[in-house]
Amino acid sequence: MQKISYFCSGILMDFIFIKKQNISRMKTRFYVFCMILCACILTISCAKEKHFLTDAKYREEVHEQFLKREQMVSGRHHSLFAVFNRPDLTLAEKEALEFLYAYMPLSDLGDYDGTFFLKQVRASLQARDTFAWGQTIPEDIFRHFVLVYRVNNENLDTARLVFFNELKDRVKGLSMTEAALEVNLWCRGKVTYRGTDGRTSAPLATVRTSWGRCGEESTFTVTAMRAVGIPARQCYTPRWVHSDNNHAWVEVWVDGQWHFLGACEPEPELDHGWFAGPATRTMMVHTIAFGKYTGTEPKNIEKPLFSRINLLANYADTRQVKVKIVDLNGNPVPGAKVQFKVYNYAELFTISENETAPDGTTAIFSGMGDLMIWANKDNLFGYGKSKTTDEETVIVLDHGNLRLPNMFSLDTSYTETYVINIPPGKDTKGIDEEKLTNFGKRVSKEDAIRSVYTSTFAKEEDAEKLSTETGLDSKEIFKYLQLSQGNWRDIADFIRQNKDNPRLFPFLAAISKKDLRDTPREILEDHFLHCEKKDPEMDETLFVKQVLSPRIALELIRPWRAYFQQPEKVAEIAGTTPSVENIIQYINKNITINDDENYYLCPISPVGVYELKMADRHSRDIFFAAVCRSMGIPAQVEPATGKPRYYKDGKWFDVVFEHDKNDNEASIADTPKGTLILENDKENGKVPGYYTHYTIAKYKDGEFQTLDFEEEPSAGVFPCTLTLDAGYYRLMTGARDRDGSPTVRTVYFMLPEKQTVKQTVTLPKLISRRIVYGKLSGEEKITIDQQTNPLLHWAREKGLMLCFVDPAKEPSKHILQDLPQRKKELEQWNGNIVLVTPEDKVTRAFNAKSFSGLPQQTRWTVDTQRELLKTLAQILHINIEDHFPFTLYINPEGEILYHAEGYVIGIGDTLLEIIALDTKQ
């Protein structure tokens, strides 16, 4: 129909031309006849084209939503919509594009063009036509989980096209199950796990680096699956409840059912992964379904553009958590915001959020443990633990700024301590050992392929060669080449081209490690070569970090500095005499706030915000800082609070935009401050870590927002002095029992303006009791350094910490990063530490020396055919399977006083406490 409308428009224009030229009536009739004949032929031709959206009603809904988005983004109309004028656009491609445009987040409307999206559509349709399984996939499954180019909040690229070409011959002719397993094996040869920051790299950038966190591994793997037409989605437990962490993995739709697998962690069968056991204990697993989704899974959120679907029942026992919100008089409160929270990283983290119905109720499906329910409306709030039965949990909005009987006012100081119960978990099925061993050989081959690639990364001789060429210090050069991984040649070129600029290395130090790994030289130069220090008196560190640096929050670095320095842009946004006041006025007048439609939370680029004239609040704040820095004005999005700020006359000023103001609030605020001094309780026996043991949260609009001091060094040194906005705060600490259940302590207090308040960070006391889980017989053997001895030999003097690890998997890597944090204390204990790799988990890429910083008494060994592991499992009457790491403490008497499957944060602390308790008794 699109082609017909274009053709009819052409006929009308030609007819007007004929009339104007006074062409004879006979010729006119003949010409019109020919045009009508062609139109008929075209109509018949178009009628034969297949619809991508076969349901007429759904197709009409999509089209209506598409037209709304077209009107909404008029500022980028040509970039986005010119693609619909292409004569080679098929009906199926047009409808697929309309579906994507109708529901895509603002970040995609702001930062990409129609040609990019057409390539994505054509690649998905090509995959469907190439592989046999493409014709078996239902339309709705294909639409939501193959066609869609975005997985989560990653930056977009053309990975789908690249991966298709690499994978098509490898999977062609396989069954759908075999193909899914083969794709994941291929992924292992490209990417492995390593922790990194919260910005999600694009799939091709992850390949270039060769590693990423679980969110990046799963984004990469879903993209690879979709590239060959296998429906896939990223599954995410926002936070574990038994351990301070989270995880993302992948589900694939194969032959009519969804199955799970570990991203870049291949197994010989579907529905296996190290996380299968922990997933039976979690309280939420969810994924985002792009567009209007009509699947049968329960939905935590259903919005016009997307749904957040609840997948927990695929992994764990579930129940419906029913909540009712009432006021002080017991009346139901409709429209209250209800957050379902779990304790993790020393804060209460929201795993789902709803709004109450007219009767004050809401509900979600969750696991079999406790949830903290937090409700608020109109600056009143209430909270409490959910009931573990089917009984409704009633929450009273009894906290707020009203002076009423039975109301806790916002200056009330009090302390609470409570225990959160967690689900017990269930056993999961294993895989035949012989099958694992044989498959392990294929995994080793993929590891070797990745190792060959990483061997091309920069070496010291590359830095020395560049040093000779540029005259710069080779050690400084190598630091940045090494950090840039597969992007090192771009960074080397950047260094080479800017060798004479004294700000070269400070500039590179001011961006993140991930920026070094995935930012092209041209983008770095857009910022480095278009930034002038206009005020010679400005502090150099301030200038480099808050003007010269393109790093503002966790957005992808894009070229925006030269763009905003164009004279017409300067005049439009900042005025003829550029000022912060003018920039704020421009944003208030021209940038519409729309938080709902940027639902993947991927920041829109500053240029995208300018062109769209629309943004979520976070992207707007980044835009503000980018424009200020382009004008030479120091500005930031403050890391701890997320507030936009700028620097003037030796002070930072908060910026409050019109959309966020309370009554009589100024646009530029010198926010009143107070001083908080945190002291470490002498009874703690350790130095509390931020996000490990404690957090601070500030009250705003009915809820407490955790301040992000993870990168603040002073937050780990006591006494700790912090200058904070005056207001109402919550200090939260927590400690986990051996089963992972946390005991939580919260202190609510006021921090008045210009006053100093002292608070003590007190960790909750757990009931310490010595438990003997099993005892060695003395016959158990272990071979270390080619010498075989009884296991008791290594425990006899001061005890033994024994840890079975799978070095290629995420949980084991966590514990190998955790132990160095207690290196000093573990070395003072001086008992033996033995890290054991099961024989079937040893790969070609494994190198014990790559795990640096471990206590000096650490030794490595291999467990042949898992003999020792099986023996210990029998003693403990447990089934280990692949639940690594598996950690034990064995005292000098051979008693097993501790064992844990999977990663437990702070395991070094836990072991030291158990050793101390055993020594006392």
pLDDT in tens, 727-742: 999 999 999 988 889 9
Say what the pLDDT of residue 425 is. Answer: 84
Position 751 pLDDT exceeds 80: yes
Characterize 723-736 residue by residue with b for buried, 16 or more Cβ atoms within 10 angstroms of its Cβ, and e for exposed.
Answer: ebbbbbbbbbbbbb
The pLDDT of residue 11 is 43
On whether the CB atoms of residues 275 and 242 are closer than 8 A, the answer is no
pLDDT score, position 6: 38
State the average pLDDT for the chain: 91
Closest by CA position to 761, among listed 704, 818, 703, 677: 677
Q: What is the pTM of this model?
A: 0.88
Can you give the pLDDT at residue 814?
Answer: 83
**Rounded Cα–Cα distance for residues 258 and 274 (Å):** 18
Tokens of 617: 């609040």
| Average pLDDT estimate for 382-391 | 88
SS3 content of the chain, % helix, strand, coil (to 5): 40, 25, 35
Note the pLDDT of residue 816. Answer: 86
634 pLDDT more than 50: yes
pLDDT at 9 over 50: no
Strand ranges in 505-627 using DSSP code E only, listed in sequence order: 592-593, 614-615
As a whole-number percent, the residues of the chain with pLDDT over 70 amount to 93
* pLDDT value of residue 406: 67
Say what the pLDDT of residue 890 is.
95
Q: What is the SS3 assignment for 350?
A: strand
> Lowest-confidence range among 76-85, 310-319, 537-546, 893-902?
893-902
Is residue 14 pLDDT above 60, yes or no?
A: no
- Side-chain-facing half-sphere of 139: CA atoms under 13 Å: 13
Among candidates 276, 278, 279, 252, which has minimal Cα distance to 181?
Answer: 252
Instruction: Please say if the pLDDT value at position 16 is more than 50.
Output: no
* Predicted confidence (pLDDT) at residue 8 exceeds the cutoff of 70: no
Kindly tell me if the per-residue pLDDT of 529 is higher than 60. yes
CA separation for the pair 771, 61 (Å, rounded): 62
Question: For the ranges 340-354, 754-768, 844-858, which has the lowest average pLDDT?
Answer: 844-858
User: Parallel, antiparallel, or unpaired: how do β-strands 347-355 and 337-344 relate?
Assistant: antiparallel
Classified as helix, coil or strand, 21 is: helix
What per-residue confidence (pLDDT) applies to 750? 95
- The answer, yes or no, to whether the previous bond of 672 is cis (omega within 30 of 0) is no
Q: Quick one: which H or E segment has residue 627?
A: helix 617-630
Q: Name the pLDDT band for 403 (thresholds 50, 70, 90).
A: low
Residue 238's contacts (CB-CB under 8 Å, 6 or more residues apart) are: 246, 284, 286, 349, 350, 351
- The DSSP call for residue 297 is S
Provide the pLDDT for residue 881: 72
Q: Is pLDDT at 601 greater than 70 in this prediction?
A: yes
Q: Once rounded to an integer, what is the mean pLDDT over residues 131-158?
A: 97
654-670 pLDDT, tens digit per residue, is 999 987 777 666 688 88
Total Cβ atoms within 10 A of residue 581: 12
Structure confidence at residue 204 (pLDDT) = 98
Q: Render 703-728 in DSSP notation, one character per residue.
A: EEEE---TT-GGGGSSSEEEEEESEE
The closest of 624, 539, 542 to 581, measured between CA atoms, is 624
- The packing angle between helices 25-48 and 2-21, to 10°, is 170
pLDDT higher than threshold 90 for residue 241: yes
Give the full edge-to-edge strand order of the sheet including 703-706: 414-419, 742-751, 727-736, 694-700, 703-706
Provide the pLDDT for residue 818.
83
DSSP state letters, 874-889: HHHT---TT---EEEE
Which residues have CB under 8 Å from 546's CB, separation 6+?
629, 634, 635, 636, 647
Q: How far is CA 870 from the centre of its chain?
A: 37
Q: What is the pLDDT of residues 271-300, one digit of tens each?
A: 999 899 899 999 999 999 999 999 999 999
Backbone angles phi, psi at 614, to 5 degrees: -155, 145
pLDDT 10s digits, 413-461? 999 999 999 998 888 888 888 888 899 899 999 999 999 999 999 999 9
Residues 6+ apart with CB under 8 A from 604: 106, 107, 110, 111, 598, 612, 615, 616, 619, 623
pLDDT band at 72 (very low <50, low <70, confident <90, very high): very high
| pLDDT over 60 at 39, yes or no | no
CA distance linking residue 598 with residue 508, whole number of Å: 30
Q: Is residue 96 a contact partner of residue 142, using CB atoms and an 8 Å limit? A: no
Question: Residue 509 is which amino acid?
Answer: A
Instruction: Give the pLDDT confidence of 85-111 residue by residue, as tens digits.
Output: 999 999 999 999 999 999 999 999 999
Q: How far is CA 753 from CA 316, 653, 756, 760, in A?
A: 48, 16, 9, 20
- Mean pLDDT of the 65-88 span: 95
Q: What's residue 49's pLDDT?
A: 85
Per DSSP, which regions of 413-567 are E strands?
414-419
CA distances 58 to 55, 568, 805, Å, are 5, 44, 50
